[in-house]
Chains A and B, each alone.
Chain A
């Protein structure tokens, strides 16, 4: 029995070490203006740099502690056949290539890369280069703490020997003598010329030592991503940055000591010592920020809420369609539960983003889509419109479409980009952007209510007009507040920028629709159709103007959704023509 238990224990422990040490995953790392758990950092960066791996933390662990092994692993995803052909790579079914082979191929085609014209192909090449650079960056992180590949203590002048020479020499062992070594090597070059063989043996050792230290430092200079050591200014920096810039606090030595222990323990297979050293680093790094925030962000990325929301809204579409067709109460109840689930999950997602980013969740186009969807869904539930199955189906279809659009706009599902300095204002983000995005939601609800009125006749024109009045209130107030913000930051209230024009277009459209019955004899059906067409104006105002790529609102520029937008405008127009004719036919 004991043998069995021991075997089980060994199996479990060996399994856990086949993954990564537990402390590794929770090591705090600075990334894009905030601090993350290393496992979150690994997940975000591997997604960003097209590195395919089942366990991002393990990939990062291997890249840091076993750079040579990691360089041979086929992890970099290249799907573009033109890029594969250009790099003279063999096409593979899994499209995966190792950093080592890519480095070689990039070296071979280096002259050709410079002659490529700017465009999508060059961007695709650059994307692969970025993946490769990231691997190099990460795999150099701890090289200052690894033993030199071709150097023993006998090759190092004795005056630089530390007390303990049981381990092979490393860059950090010789760090404090680097200036002397360089100076002596420089002097030797002046005295004896560039030929090493003419140097006395002692100086040969110095020159060689200086050369390999400089080579390693040159490579280490590019290692900036793994920011785990605090600098004198308080900004976390990478180990190499800390070494080369001599920028560090007295605590730097403690960090270095623990990294040394971790590197040695890993090499010698001392898992407990490795885990302990990493744990010490985690404890040292866990000061000055909220641990809860780290856990919330880890959870956020682990569950990928946008993917869940997409799945749930697709299920909602199926359930509510089934409920309408079969008239079964069970399906109806399941749809209602799903709608509540989506709304709550979306609300929690927005709250999590607010907490993590410490700002209102409307700083980017991606976030504004989530916020508008939430307002629409919350109002649907609050007003009880979901009790009409058609309204429920509409809510699911719209939310699915908006989530799909959001996922197309985000580079990764969880994009949390930093805001430019001009946007970095809590007050205006809250006042202007919340107001205008609520206006977009009110416009969509106006349009949806008008669709419902045309389709079923259960919603009155007066109610649709009421929605439109609120939509005008939020969009006009939001637009004017945007003018006040522009006046505060750019020095003009109104500059005819595409984004501003888009908002004005929406306001004018709604004002026109509201004024029409006071000046023209216009049928109720036509009024409803025009209100329903508000969705088209919203799409143009919200997304269309961003595609022009001009103006001061550069942070909202978008590409790659033109086809989607045109399809929406065409389909929506056709639907409105159909609904108008259908309604007129019924009235007749």
Chain B
């Protein structure tokens, strides 16, 4: 009973809040050195935080504890008129935390780049890269980040095995000296070794070297994502590419417009005039900065442009699939309303 009282009490929050603040500071400072993507993964989206080999509860674990604390507190409190603002605010925070915990698992994001007059239905990931193996008409896809040096990849349908010889999220390329492996192609001269990650995750040069073992024969190859070459060996082919997936709709870029500030070359606004076509039909729409387009659970945003002064600029649209996208809006409304009610009520009480 004592434990339950403690779990639902503000005391638990006062213990957790400094932990959150410390993690926030550490995670923010870490971004300077390892970039936002890596720092976020380590400090804010981890269940466990490893500090010099010591396991500590991760941000997500602490968030779940706080969520339980807030939920129990809200359920067991008397909702009096005097405190309803405060209670609403707490419920809003619960909603916000739920969306914060679940969104990373349920959402996915990437980009669509389309040239004026062309169409696409491909969503390309910003950071995720896949090692693709194709044999006959079948394709196997391996998440690059789950592979490591020494990994052995096999499949019943393959007449070969693949062993990962070199693997790096951000590779340093150097001249390859003598090797015990029989390298072919660019791997003959290029050796890959890991180096510090770039601050912008999309600037990392991912790569791997692997050997294909078949009937006592072994051939080795090197792939880097900046050179999306396909290596062919007999009927099989191998590739390292950014993860791509098909969208449930097609986007056509009719026109792209960049508006500059008067007498400058600085962009004031971007506009992509697109046509979206899916099973239900097609519709024409405009996407601008701060004015995205929602298509089902997907939302398209104007992200950037390549060759804005050319005749056929390439518009880059960010695409996010998030079934929980409305949740933070409701939570924000509840928190703001609850806080305002509480502040006004407290002010009246003081008078």
Chain B residues, CB < 8 A from A492: 109, 320
B24 near A504 with CB under 8 A, answer: yes
- B44 and A496 contact, CB distance less than 8 A: yes
Is the Cβ of B11 less than 8 Å from the Cβ of A502? no
Give the number of chain A interface residues (Cβ < 8 Å).
Answer: 61
- Given the complex of chains A and B, what is the CA–CA distance between A207 and B212 in angstroms? 69
A472 to B260, CA, bound (A): 38
The answer to whether A30 and B263 have CB atoms under 8 Å apart is yes
Among B264, B267, B325, B343, which residue has its beta carbon within 8 angstroms of that of A469? B343
- Residue B224 lies at the interface, judged by CB distance under 8 Å to chain A: no
Contact with A along B249-293 (1 / 0, CB 8 A): 000000000001111101111100000000000000000011110
Binds B, one of A119-127, A388-396, A474-482: A474-482
Contact assessment for A422 and B290 in the assembled complex, using a CB-CB cutoff below 8 Å:
yes
A418 touches B266 (CB 8 A): yes
- The residue in A30, A428, A473, A549 that gathers the most chain B C-beta atoms within 10 A of its C-beta is A473
- Chain B residues whose CB sits within 8 angstroms of the CB of A35 once the complex forms: 262
Chain B window 329-346, contacts with chain A (Cβ cutoff 8 Å), 1 for yes, 0 for no: 101100110011011001
Decide yes or no whether A111 CB sits under 8 A from chain B: no
CB under 8 Å from chain B, chain A span 477-496:
477, 480-481, 483-485, 487-496
- What is the distance, in angstroms, from A516's C-beta to the closest C-beta of chain B? 6
B58 within 8 A of A: no
Closest residue of chain B to A472, judged by CB?
Answer: B339
Interface presence of A519 (CB below 8 A)? yes
Task: Let me know if A550 and B263 touch, CB within 8 A.
Answer: no
Residue of B nearest to A428 (CB): B290
Q: Which residue of B lies closest to A231 (CB)?
A: B263
Residues A496 and B36 in contact in the complex (CB < 8 Å), given A462-B350, A480-B335, A489-B290:
yes
Q: What is the bound-complex CA distance between A32 and B343, given in angstroms?
A: 43
CB distance from A535 to the nearest CB of B (A): 16
Q: A516 — which chain B residues lie within 8 A by C-beta? A: 14
A508 within 8 A of B: yes
In the complex, the answer to whether B24 meets A489 with C-beta atoms within 8 Å is no
B230 within 8 A of A: no
User: Considering residues B103, B266, B340, which has the most beta carbons from chain A within 10 angstroms of its beta carbon?
Assistant: B266
B199 is an interface residue with CB less than 8 A from chain A: yes
Output the nearest chain B residue to A236 by Cβ-Cβ distance: B263
CB of B17 within 8 A of CB of A512, answer: yes
Whole-angstrom CA separation of A509 from B17 in the bound complex: 8
Chain B CB within 8 A of A498 CB: yes
**Contact pattern, A 487-531, Cβ under 8 Å of B = 1, otherwise 0:** 111111111111001101100110110011011100000000000
For B320, give the chain A residue with the smallest CB separation: A491
Residues of B306-346 contacting chain A, CB below 8 A: 318-320, 325, 328-329, 331-332, 335-336, 339-340, 342-343, 346
Contact of B340 among A235, A473, A551 (CB under 8 A): A473
Q: Once the chains are docked, how many angstroms separate the CA of A520 from the CA of B6?
A: 12
> Does chain B have a CB within 8 A of A146?
no
- Does B24 contact A505, Cβ atoms closer than 8 Å? yes
In the complex, B28 has a CB within 8 A of chain A: yes
Picked from B11, B29, B335, B346, the residue with its CB within 8 Å of the CB of A477 is B335
Cβ A33 vs Cβ B266 within 8 A = yes
A5 in the interface, Cβ–Cβ < 8 Å? no
Partner of A512, one of B18, B268, B301, B335: B18
> Which residue on chain A has the smallest CB distance to residue B319?
A491
B292 touches A512 (CB 8 A): no
On chain B, the residues within 8 Å of A444 by CB distance are none
B28 touches A498 (CB 8 A): yes
Q: Does B193 contact A (CB under 8 A)?
A: no
Q: How far is the CB of B215 from chain A (nearest CB, A)?
A: 49
Q: Is B20 part of the contact surface with A, judged by Cβ < 8 Å?
A: yes
User: With A504-B24, A520-B14, A545-B28 known to touch, is A488 a contact of B291 (CB < 8 Å)?
Assistant: yes
Query: With an 8 A cutoff between CB atoms, is B9 at the interface?
Result: yes
Chain B positions within 8 Å of A469 at CB level: 339, 342-343, 346
Which residues from B are CB-within-8-Å of A106?
A: none
Q: B61 contacts which chain A residues (CB < 8 A)?
A: none
Asked if B25 is at the interface (CB within 8 A of a chain A CB), the reply is yes
Within 8 A of B (CB), among A529-579: 545, 548-551
| A103 at interface, CB cutoff 8 A | no
- In the complex, A227 has a CB within 8 A of chain B: yes
The answer to whether A470 has its CB under 8 Å from any CB of chain B is: yes
CB of B262 within 8 A of CB of A424, answer no
Say whether A355 faces chain B, with CB atoms less than 8 Å apart. Answer: no
Task: Verify if B207 is at the interface (C-beta below 8 Å from A).
Answer: no
Q: Give CA–CA (A32, B266) in the complex, Å.
A: 9
Give a binary string over A412-424; 1 marks a CB under 8 Å from any B CB, 0 the rest: 0000001011101
Query: Quick one: which of B15-39 are within 8 Å of A by CB?
Result: 17-18, 20-21, 24-25, 27-29, 31-32, 35-36, 39
Q: Which residue of chain A lies nearest to B346 when distances are taken between CB atoms in the complex?
A: A469
A425 at the interface (CB under 8 A from B): yes
Bound-state CA distance A509–B40 (Å) is: 21
Kindly identify which residue among A489, A494, A520 contacts B11, using a CB–CB cutoff of 8 Å: A520
When the two chains form their complex, are residues A512 and B14 in contact, meaning their CB atoms are under 8 A apart? yes
User: Is A138 in the interface zone, CB < 8 Å from B?
Assistant: no
Q: Is the CB of B335 within 8 A of A30?
A: no
Closest 5 A/B residue pairs (Cβ): A33-B261, A30-B263, A519-B11, A491-B320, A512-B17
Spell out A's residues near B (CB within 8 Å): 30-35, 227, 235-237, 418, 420-422, 424-425, 428, 462-463, 466, 469-470, 472-473, 476-477, 480-481, 483-485, 487-498, 501-502, 504-505, 508-509, 511-512, 515-516, 518-520, 545, 548-551
Sample 6 A-B pairs with CB under 8 A, ordered by A number: A235-B260, A473-B343, A480-B328, A493-B103, A496-B27, A515-B17
